[in-house]
Chain A
Amino acid sequence: NAGVTQTPKFQVLKTGQSMTLQCAQDMNHEYMSWYRQDPGMGLRLIHYSVGAGITDQGEVPNGYNVSRSTTEDFPLRLLSAAPSQTSVYFCASRDRGATNEKLFFGSGTQLSVL
């Protein structure tokens, strides 16, 4: 199993450009989530999903869109990139199971918006 795969690993955008951060998992996990990590701010939840066709907003959803058409994929879209979206982005997934099932994290995408 590959686990949680994020692409690309690095990306540089210009202000106003759009792009999609890809996230795929091969563990048949129903729960998936996106976080951004900024120095001194920890990880903040952007959006999450409890299954195909079902998504919800997290702590910092503005400027980001998500959709979940399959169990495996949970892409994060930046519609019009802003310098404030410069960050490291992590995708995570977990099995439905018990409430304290652990999250499996991807290796992250480092995004710079100029």
Chain B
Amino acid sequence: AQSVTQLGSHVSVSEGALVLLRCNYSSSVPPYLFWYVQYPNQGLQLLLKYTSAATLVKGINGFEAEFKKSETSFHLTKPSAHMSDAAEYFCAVTKNQAGTALIFGKGTTLSVSS
């Protein structure tokens, strides 16, 4: 069965610092991975998604993620944090080969201090 583990339920960084949110997956089929962001009192917004064309994926707002099959990881990074990045971030993997639904991780709350 597919599963996602997000290491660290809460990450705190200073403005301008590197952001690293960790995601490891388990999948019995070739995985397709996503990162979603949820700002306070809002719905979910797609940040980026893995495509088999490239292992380094660029998303919105300066975020990127690297797919590492050997490490079963899809960590999210941003070189310089901004106050507006404070939100909850979810990593997700497709439930099956058709991608009919997603299996989400438990989420990581990112706090950014000035």
Interface set of A (CB-CB < 8 Å, partner B): 31, 33, 35, 40-45, 48, 50, 58-59, 90, 92, 94, 98-103, 105-108
A-B contacts counted at CB < 8 A amount to 66
Contacts of A90 in B (CB 8 A): 43-44
Contacts of B113 in A (CB 8 A): none
Q: Which of A41, A59, A92, A98 contacts B103 (CB 8 A)?
A: A59
Q: Which of B50, B100, B106 contacts A31 (CB 8 A)?
A: B100
Q: Which of B34, B50, B102 contacts A45 (CB 8 A)?
A: B102
Alpha-carbon separation in the docked complex, A101 to B32 (Å): 10
Which chain A residue lies CB-closest to B98? A99
- Nearest Cβ in chain A — how far from B90, in angstroms? 6
Number of B residues near A (Cβ < 8 Å) is 25
Alpha-carbon separation in the docked complex, A54 to B101 (Å): 14
- Nearest Cβ in chain A — how far from B113, in angstroms? 22
Interface centre among A50, A58, A98, A103 (most CB of B within 10 A): A103
- Nearest Cβ in chain A — how far from B72, in angstroms? 17
Q: Which of A43, A48, A50 contacts B90 (CB 8 A)?
A: A43
Contact with A along B99-113 (1 / 0, CB 8 A): 111111111000000
Which chain A residue lies CB-closest to B45? A105
Contacts of B44 in A (CB 8 A): 43, 90, 103, 105
B46 proximal to A (CB < 8 A):
yes
B95 proximal to A (CB < 8 A):
yes
Interface centre among B6, B44, B94, B98 (most CB of A within 10 A): B44
Please state if A40 and B106 are interface contacts (CB–CB under 8 Å).
yes
